[in-house]
A and B are shown apart, each in its own frame.
Chain A
Amino acid sequence: MDFANFLIQLLNSLQYGLLLFMLAAGLTLIFGIMGVVNLAHGTFYMLGAYLAWFLTAQFDNLLIAIVVGAVLAIAFGWALEWLLIRHFYKRDHLDQVLLTFGLIYIFQEARSILWGDDVHSVAVPAMFNGAIQLTDNLSYPVYRLVVSAVCAGLAMGLYLLISKTRLGMKIRAGAFNREMTESLGINIRFIHAIVFALGVGLAAVAGMVAAPISSVYPGMGSSVLIMCFVVVVIGGIGSVRGALVAALMVGLVDTFCKVLLPEIAGMAVYMLMAAVLLFKPEGLFKS
């Protein structure tokens, strides 16, 4: 591999890592702060992608579709928390797994009834439709860079929200000691509803932003869910910073193993996870 190729592969890793981060951020928030194992997270990603496809057809504009879709997704997350999730905070993790596993089936079937099982595509917005010529025969779509920028922007925003704002302080306090936070007069239920809605919103936005490059199909959620869990576990459950570092690591390992060691590419990411857990059983960043 020559140097130019190496740089391009680095770019590929970074881009994949940032996309993974956006997906895993919502999961690690919900998992770390509320203690809820949300297996349906990948399904929200899939629903987001279908929403992008459906709304783009209505508005004829991906940007408007993403804004409307994000609002819908957050409202949906809020309603879901109020209807179901909040009754499971005090329950066993296994009950939560059962609930969210059931939700996967329900949302899959709902999607099948609403939108069918076909593969769809979402057009790349005209202003990002170009490509940058990298080598004589390889070009890089501008939209991929836009996606990376959006992911990086969201990562920054999340960091500021959690570490610099009053709401972020309450969220961290709630995750650290629920009873104490409550006794200080902070409405922890409200905080939880916000976090869950935010988590669902993040997954759906990831699906919507990724839709033009990934195409939209029924099984897309389940394949990303496992990667998300790997990222969350490597990064340390509940740590947004950890999720960012872990996602970038997974991106690097996955990309370079596919190129250099294709025989073990399928396992490489899991070997990374095992190695991290061996030395840091609670992940890279304990929350």
Chain B
Amino acid sequence: MTTRRNLLTHSAAAIGAASTGLFLPELARAQSDKVRVGFMLPYTGTFAQLGVSIEKGFLMALNEQGGKLGGKEVEFFKVDDESNPAKGVENANLLVQRDKVDVLVGTVHSGVQMGIHKVARESGVLSLIPNAGVQVATRAQCAPNVYRTSFSNSQPTLALGKAMMDRGHKKAVWITWNYSAGAEALEGFEAGYTAAGGTIVEKLAVPFPSVEFQALLTQIAAIKPDAVACFFAGGGAAKFLRDFHAAGLSKTIQLYGSGFLTEGVLEAAGPAAEGVMTTMHYSDSLDTPRNKKFRLDYVKAFKSQPDVYSVQGYDAGQLLIIGANAVKGDLSNKSALYAAMNGVTIDSPRGKWTMSAAHNPIQDMYLRQVVKGENKVIGVAGKAVADPATGCRMS
């Protein structure tokens, strides 16, 4: 259904562009009483569910404000990015140049994000990242107009090391897909684990997106580490959990991971996921009044359960509301807009977090364990965890 709606937006915009032709400047001025918000999210493909969750979360934040931004009506534009990095720049340009959006919300896939990032840096349009954890966006290529409300790829695993050492797991094997997000997750894990006194005895990698783990599980069994730490997500995560369990390894070796290992796959992984420990900035079962209210309202509004992606979308909405209110909906007043959003503290369902100088959340990382098919929060694994923001200079 989302796809159909998306198609309608597309054709409506295309007809609009075709019929106005030379009079485009007038049109833009005539509509300047509305804030133009562009969603560039995956509405089809493997990440479709994530895109839909982000959009719902974002809309919920706006609807809590009567659906307005700084007192102005909001107009939405949508592009399905298909999680296709090859079309990242092109799709971002559709929103920025054709639809003339004031703010671009997107996306999930880190490769596509780099396309958006290039367009955002060149055009100066406000860019809110509701998921993609690609580190360079808030490090060497950080920009005044780019804000992230999710995490950087190394952030969740940064908190893992101490939790593992607290449980006496001093020797660990690391395993992930051989691609950039995996390497960035390893960077966080290595920093946190070695700082806590642990030793990584072996780093294993599976070519992305292969899900043939058997050879490496055999190797893990031969190494006999205290624990295995990993980064996998989606269908591959479900398969890894099942294979790890089926190989009998879960009996003697504790499995840890970045929280994405156990997000959205618990039903599929079944008993294989029981006992697995992960660190992340949110958990569905987080027992706070703020989270409970959020989840209740979300279910009422959308008739579906929110997930971590909904929360990240919701926080992107909250951030934009703060910025837009400060400039009364005139997003072209950039210095005032950024001033209002910089260093802001967001009251999120995940707990309060603060926007860092590099525009990435400084947030608590929870230690969670899968108990009876749910990510149960055991405690806080890392307080106010910040991305190192290496090489970021705001111009």
User: Contact: B264 with A121, CB < 8 Å?
Assistant: no
User: Contact: B234 with A266, CB < 8 Å?
Assistant: no
Residues of A within 8 A of B334 (CB): none
- Of the candidate stretches A25-33, A63-71, A112-120, A173-181, the one touching chain B is A112-120
Residues of A within 8 A of B253 (CB): 137
Residues of A within 8 A of B218 (CB): 5, 8-9, 12, 138, 259
Given A133-B248, A138-B249, A255-B215, A217 contacting B234 (CB threshold 8 A):
yes
The 8 Å CB contact of B235, one of A5, A119, A123, A133, is A119
User: Contact: A119 with B247, CB < 8 Å?
Assistant: no
CA distance A249 to B264 in the complex (A): 35
Q: Can you report 16 residue pairs joining A to B where beta carbons are below 8 Å apart?
A: A5-B218, A9-B218, A12-B215, A15-B214, A118-B268, A121-B267, A121-B270, A137-B249, A137-B251, A138-B249, A141-B247, A214-B239, A218-B45, A219-B235, A256-B215, A258-B212
Residues of B within 8 A of A220 (CB): 211, 235
Residues of A within 8 A of B208 (CB): 266
The reply on A183 being an interface residue by CB < 8 A is no
The reply on B269 being an interface residue by CB < 8 A is yes
The 8 Å CB contact of B212, one of A1, A8, A16, A131, is A16
User: Contact: A215 with B44, CB < 8 Å?
Assistant: no
Residues of B within 8 A of A158 (CB): none
Which positions 310-348 of chain B face chain A at CB distance < 8 Å? none
CA distance A223 to B210 in the complex (A): 7
Given contacts A121-B242, A137-B248, 4 further A-B contacts (CB under 8 A): A12-B218, A258-B215, A262-B178, A262-B205
Which positions 243-290 of chain B face chain A at CB distance < 8 Å? 243, 246-249, 251-253, 264-265, 267-270
CA distance A109 to B212 in the complex (A): 26
- Of the candidate stretches B65-73, B95-103, B122-130, B219-227, the one touching chain A is B219-227
Within the complex, what minimum Cβ distance (angstroms) separates A5 from chain B? 5
Given A112-B44, A265-B178, A215 contacting B238 (CB threshold 8 A):
yes
User: Contact: A5 with B222, CB < 8 Å?
Assistant: yes
CA distance A138 to B211 in the complex (A): 19
The reply on A171 being an interface residue by CB < 8 A is no
Q: CB-nearest residue of chain A relative to B251?
A: A137
CA distance A112 to B51 in the complex (A): 14
CA distance A216 to B236 in the complex (A): 10
CA distance A109 to B268 in the complex (A): 21
Which positions 3-35 of chain A face chain B at CB distance < 8 Å? 5, 8-9, 12-13, 15-16
User: Contact: B246 with A137, CB < 8 Å?
Assistant: no
The 8 Å CB contact of B207, one of A16, A135, A144, A266, is A266
CA distance A140 to B221 in the complex (A): 12
Q: CB-nearest residue of chain A relative to B236?
A: A217
Q: CB-nearest residue of chain A relative to B240?
A: A215
Main DSSP-derived SS at the B contact region = helix
Residues of A within 8 A of B45 (CB): 108, 218-219
The 8 Å CB contact of B46, one of A117, A213, A214, is A117
Within the complex, what minimum Cβ distance (angstroms) separates B236 from chain A? 8
Within the complex, what minimum Cβ distance (angstroms) separates B124 from chain A? 35
Type the 1/0 row for A255-281, where 1 means its CB is closer than 8 Å to any CB of B.
Answer: 110110010011000000000000000
CA distance A120 to B239 in the complex (A): 10
Residues of A within 8 A of B242 (CB): 121, 213, 215
| Residues of B participating in the A interface, judged by any CB pair closer than 8 Å | 3, 44-46, 48-49, 178, 204-212, 214-219, 221-222, 224, 234-235, 238-239, 242-243, 246-249, 251-253, 264-265, 267-270
Residues of B within 8 A of A81 (CB): none
Within the complex, what minimum Cβ distance (angstroms) separates B263 from chain A? 10
Given A5-B218, A255-B215, A265-B205, A112 contacting B235 (CB threshold 8 A):
no
The reply on A187 being an interface residue by CB < 8 A is no
CA distance A256 to B270 in the complex (A): 30
The 8 Å CB contact of A139, one of B46, B248, B264, is B248
Residues of A within 8 A of B219 (CB): 5, 259
User: Contact: B265 with A119, CB < 8 Å?
Assistant: yes
User: Contact: A117 with B49, CB < 8 Å?
Assistant: yes
Residues of A within 8 A of B243 (CB): 213
Residues of B within 8 A of A121 (CB): 238, 242, 267-270
Residues of B within 8 A of A137 (CB): 221, 224, 248-249, 251-253
Within the complex, what minimum Cβ distance (angstroms) separates A51 from chain B? 16
Residues of B within 8 A of A254 (CB): 212, 215
Residue with the greatest number of chain A CB neighbours at <10 A, chosen from B204, B209, B212: B212
User: Contact: A119 with B207, CB < 8 Å?
Assistant: no
Residues of B within 8 A of A262 (CB): 178, 204-205
User: Contact: A258 with B206, CB < 8 Å?
Assistant: yes
Within the complex, what minimum Cβ distance (angstroms) separates A202 from chain B? 20
Within the complex, what minimum Cβ distance (angstroms) separates A27 from chain B? 18
CA distance A205 to B49 in the complex (A): 28
Given A218-B235, A265-B178, A223 contacting B46 (CB threshold 8 A):
no
Residues of B within 8 A of A112 (CB): 44, 48
The 8 Å CB contact of A16, one of B214, B239, B270, is B214
List the 7 shortest-distance A-B pairs measured between CB atoms, nearest first: A217-B235, A139-B248, A266-B207, A138-B221, A121-B268, A119-B268, A215-B238
Residues of B within 8 A of A213 (CB): 239, 242-243, 246
CA distance A123 to B221 in the complex (A): 24
User: Contact: B216 with A258, CB < 8 Å?
Assistant: yes
CA distance A59 to B264 in the complex (A): 26
CA distance A113 to B268 in the complex (A): 19
User: Contact: A118 with B222, CB < 8 Å?
Assistant: no
User: Contact: B212 with A141, CB < 8 Å?
Assistant: no
Q: CB-nearest residue of chain B relative to A122?
A: B268
Residues of A within 8 A of B211 (CB): 214, 220, 223
Residues of A within 8 A of B209 (CB): 219, 223
CA distance A277 to B234 in the complex (A): 35
Residue with the greatest number of chain A CB neighbours at <10 A, chosen from B178, B224, B238, B252: B238
Residues of A within 8 A of B178 (CB): 262, 265-266
Residues of A within 8 A of B207 (CB): 258, 265-266
Residues of A within 8 A of B239 (CB): 213-215
